[in-house]
Amino acid sequence: MHLALQSVAANYGPRHVIYDLSLDLQQGEILVVSGRNGSGKSTLLRLLCGLQQPSSGQIRYTHQERAYTPQAARHLLGWVSPDLMLYRELTASENLHFFARVRGLPWSTADSAALLDRVELAGRGHDLVSSYSSGMTQRLRYAYALQGQPLVLLLDEPTVTLDEQGMALVHRIIEQQRQHGPVVVATNDPRELALGDYVLQLQPPR
């Protein structure tokens, strides 16, 4: 799996936040994006998962000799962000079951249990998401993102609201992801800056 950006520019609302950004990311490489609030970190991640269109430039994923636009590559991506909301009126395993179905993945209760176990939510699968604390909600976002083993992980503020154990869990997930594909992490946390093979410092718009 390989990710390439060619002179990408994008707006947040009416403002330009990203302009002329080009980069290449290979299998197993970790890119950390940092920068002040409003510098376009979240916008970059939204571009990478096709939730927003660049105003110019091109983003391409290449997997097994085939090129994908971000929108076409969604089934290969896992996105975690404070903007990602799951259904509060459903339980955690109902959420996972639903997303597996719409993704077209074969899924069983055991799969839900295993995934919840991986994000250290074992035993809480039958609680409504509305009863979750913010840290537990963040863990559930990882369960959502890791469903079906994505090739690319796109993590926005990956450890926000998490405790020490949660942070360790996230760092483990990032390390494990190296064998599947590239990881992009948007953060200002110094402990995560150290994780990156590359650090991209975004400047806020003039």
Partner 1 sequence: MKLLFQATWAVLRKDLRSELRTRYALNALLLFAVSAATAVSLGVGPLGSGSIAVSVQAALLWVALLFAALNGLARSFVQEEERRTSLALRLTAPPLAVYLGKLLFNLVLLALLDLVTTLLFLVFVRVSIGNIGLFIALLLLGSVSLVTATTLIAAIIARASFKSGLFAVLAFPLLVPVLVVVIQGTALALRGDPWSAGLPMLQLLLAYIVVTFVASSMLFPVVWEA
Partner 2 sequence: MTLRLTQIARILIGIWMTGVVLAMFLWIPQYEGLGNAGRIMILHVPTAWVSVLAFAVSAWYSAMYLWRGQAVDDDRALAAAECGMLFTILATVTGAIFSQVVWGVYWNWDPRQTSIFVLMLIYAALFALRAAIEPKEQQRKLSAVFSLFAFVTVPFLIFVAPRMADSTLHPNCAFAPNSSCDGITLRQGSIGLLGDRKVQLLALEEQGDTVVARVQVSEPGLTSEAVLEPTFDLTQGESVVEPTFPGLRYRLVVQSVDPANGTVLLNIHAPGTGILANQRTLVTFLASLGGFTALFFWIFSIRTSLLGVAWLLEQREVAHL
- Where along the sequence are the contacts to partner 1 (CB under 8 A)? 49, 51, 71, 74, 77, 79, 83-90, 94, 98-99, 101-104, 144
Residue 165, contacted partner among partner 1, partner 2, none, CB below 5-8 A by kind? none
Least gap, CB of 3 to partner 2 (angstroms) = 24
Can you tell me which of 3, 7, 15, 150 binds partner 2, judged by CB under 8 A? 15
Q: Which residues have CB under 8 Å from 204's CB, separation 6+?
A: 17, 35, 36, 37, 38, 39, 40
Cα 176–chain centre separation: 14
Least Å distance between CB 16 and partner 2? 7
Q: How is residue 178 written in tokens?
A: 């190296």
CA–CA dist 50, 35 (Å, integer): 21
205 binds partner 2 (CB under 8 A): yes
Point out which span in 9-17, 106-114, 141-149, 174-182 binds partner 2 (CB under 8 A).
9-17
For partner 2, the closer CB: 15 or 126: 15
Q: Does 135 bind partner 2 (CB under 8 A)?
A: no
Instruction: Count how many residues are written for the chain.
Output: 206
Stretch of 10-18, 31-39, 74-82, 132-140 lying at the interface with partner 2 (CB under 8 A): 10-18
Q: Is 151 exposed, middle or buried (0-12, 13-18, 19+ CB in 10 A)?
A: buried
Q: Does residue number 13 form part of the binding site for partner 2 (CB under 8 A)?
A: yes
139 φ/ψ angles, rounded to the nearest 5 degrees: -65, -40
Helix, coil or strand: residue 85: coil
Contact residues for partner 2, defined by CB under 8 A: 11, 13-16, 53, 205
